[in-house]
Amino acid sequence: MEKVFATIITIGDELLIGQVIDTNSAFIAQELNKAGILVRHRLAVGDNWEDIWEALDTESRHASLIIITGGLGPTADDITKPLLCEYFGGKMIVDQPTLDHVTHIFEQILKRPMIERNAKQAEVPDVCTVLKNEKGTAPGMLFQKEGRIYVSLPGVPHEMKWLMTNQVIPRLPQYFQTGFVEHRTLLTAGVGESFLAEMIREIEEALPAHIKLAYLPNYGMVRLRLSAFGWDKQKLSEEIEAQFAIFKNAVKEYLVTDQDIPMEQVVAQLLLARGKTLATAESCTGGYIAHLLTSHPGASAYYQGSVVSYANEIKQRVLSVSADTLATDGAVSEATVQQMAGAVLKIMQTDYAIAVSGVMGPDGGTKEKPVGMVWIAVASRETTKTQLFSFRFDRRRNIELTATNALNLLRIFILQNH
């Protein structure tokens, strides 16, 4: 048996001028991995006949499965479908089931007249297997050529995802005999990448050849990932689990979680397990902590809500921060976040609260309170703990760091049985 390699080709000038960020490729890569297929290349090319053609030629030499996304919309900048038709030596025909489906969408769901441009979406090369797209008008297409499989999917993320999950992945076993890929990821906090590397050097060097370790540093937190490939699923799982246990033990002092989940989910699991609730009072993060917590289903079981007190008068009027404190210590101060945390705990009647206030930049910094300075408070009904942070990145990154560190502070606070 041989490893099966795939290439993901994304089509669109918007990727080459940096107007949009490619999130599709990450999803496709994850799904292929779960199916035991290794992604060799991810390639973005423009809406350009020669470049797409050449990419197909080149990547055919690197991979036996080529997934293409983008370039299938109803508008004129799309050249992918005619190109695929020519590349695979077919001619365009109307696919009646697709035409019925498109007609149904316009008549029954969108309730808009269907124009010729929409009907054209039902035209496909006669050499492809049509993959019905239940989430949109552009169908997926599967081609076979010289022992390789090519799949073309629309670039709209939820349509692409539905097609990958329901039409592409289930078909792969027809074409490929795949092995198994397994990953294990843990998250550490409070230790630098180099130090961590020294700590685990010996166990890293003792890893068997089919298990690889990777470091994914992220400003004060480092994710460690073990990846393994093999043909015997049971054996592979056992091997990677055994290795993972060794790594977990070696870094236990700094271990946040042994799951591949973000910090807010670590906190959510802690709160859930203890039946506790949380509220937040956010100034500089402007609702970002609330957004992180509520972006996962089921948040209502432990999260009550937030007062985003972006303006100082809201800190005073809604969160009862005293005028004295704001005048003397200022909005970015230990006293302010203490009062914010205390107030939101009462308002929301929760077990725990987080409060943050800081200078995110690029403007608003002073000599005493420079950009990146942040006070964070975490509180229970009995006690409040504060910490001063100093970040040195851009606004967006400072907001993210403040949120993650606030959540980490609460995590430690809860674990210390406050």
Interface with its own copies in residues 238-267 (CB under 8 A): 260
42 binds its own copies (CB under 8 A): yes
Shortest Cβ distance from residue 44 to its own copies (Å)?
4
Structure tokens at 101: 């489906």
303, 352, 389, 413: residue in contact with its own copies (rule CB under 8 A): 303
Ranges of H-type helices in 35-156: 49-60, 80-87, 96-104, 116-119
36, 71, 73, 342: residue in contact with its own copies (rule CB under 8 A): 73
Distance, CA of 395 to CA of 277 (rounded, Å)? 29
Distance, CA of 195 to CA of 200 (rounded, Å)? 9
79 binds its own copies (CB under 8 A): no
Angstrom distances, CA of residue 290 to CA of 199, 316, 372: 35, 20, 20
Q: Which SS3 state, helix, strand or coil, does residue 65 take?
A: strand
169 binds its own copies (CB under 8 A): no
If you search the block for the tokens 């705990």, which residue do you land on?
Answer: 345
The DSSP annotation for 183-221 comes to: EEEEEEESS-HHHHHHHTHHHHHTS-TTEEEEEEEETTE
414 binds its own copies (CB under 8 A): no
43 binds its own copies (CB under 8 A): yes
Contacting its own copies within 175-214 (CB under 8 A): 181, 183, 185, 192-198, 201, 204, 212-214
Contacting its own copies within 115-144 (CB under 8 A): 115, 117-118
Shortest Cβ distance from residue 75 to its own copies (Å)?
4
Distance, CA of 411 to CA of 300 (rounded, Å)? 18
The region, left, alpha or beta by phi > 0 then psi within -120 to 50, assigned to residue 39 is beta
18 binds its own copies (CB under 8 A): yes
Distance, CA of 194 to CA of 98 (rounded, Å)? 55
310, 366, 370, 388: residue in contact with its own copies (rule CB under 8 A): 310
Dihedral sign from CA coordinates of 413, 414, 415, 418:
positive
4 binds its own copies (CB under 8 A): no
Distance, CA of 186 to CA of 344 (rounded, Å)? 33
Q: Quick one: which segment of 145-153, 154-162, 248-256, 333-341 binds its own copies (CB under 8 A)? A: 154-162
Shortest Cβ distance from residue 89 to its own copies (Å)?
26
Shortest Cβ distance from residue 25 to its own copies (Å)?
7
Dihedral sign from CA coordinates of 293, 299, 302, 303:
positive
Closer to its own copies by CB, 21 or 415: give it. Answer: 21
Q: Quick one: which segment of 155-163, 170-178, 351-359, 374-382 binds its own copies (CB under 8 A)? A: 155-163
Total residues at interface with its own copies (CB under 8 A): 109
75 binds its own copies (CB under 8 A): yes
103, 129, 227, 320: residue in contact with its own copies (rule CB under 8 A): 227
Q: Quick one: which segment of 243-251, 261-269, 292-300, 408-416 binds its own copies (CB under 8 A)? A: 292-300
41 binds its own copies (CB under 8 A): yes
Distance, CA of 186 to CA of 259 (rounded, Å)? 6
Q: Quick one: which segment of 90-98, 163-171, 262-270, 346-354 binds its own copies (CB under 8 A)? A: 346-354
Of 50, 8, 47, 49, which is closest to residue 25 (Cα–Cα)?
A: 8
Q: Quick one: which segment of 79-87, 89-97, 334-342, 358-366 binds its own copies (CB under 8 A)? A: 358-366
Closer to its own copies by CB, 91 or 111: give it. Answer: 111
Please give the backbone phi and psi of residue 399, each rounded to the nearest 5 degrees, phi first.
-65, -45
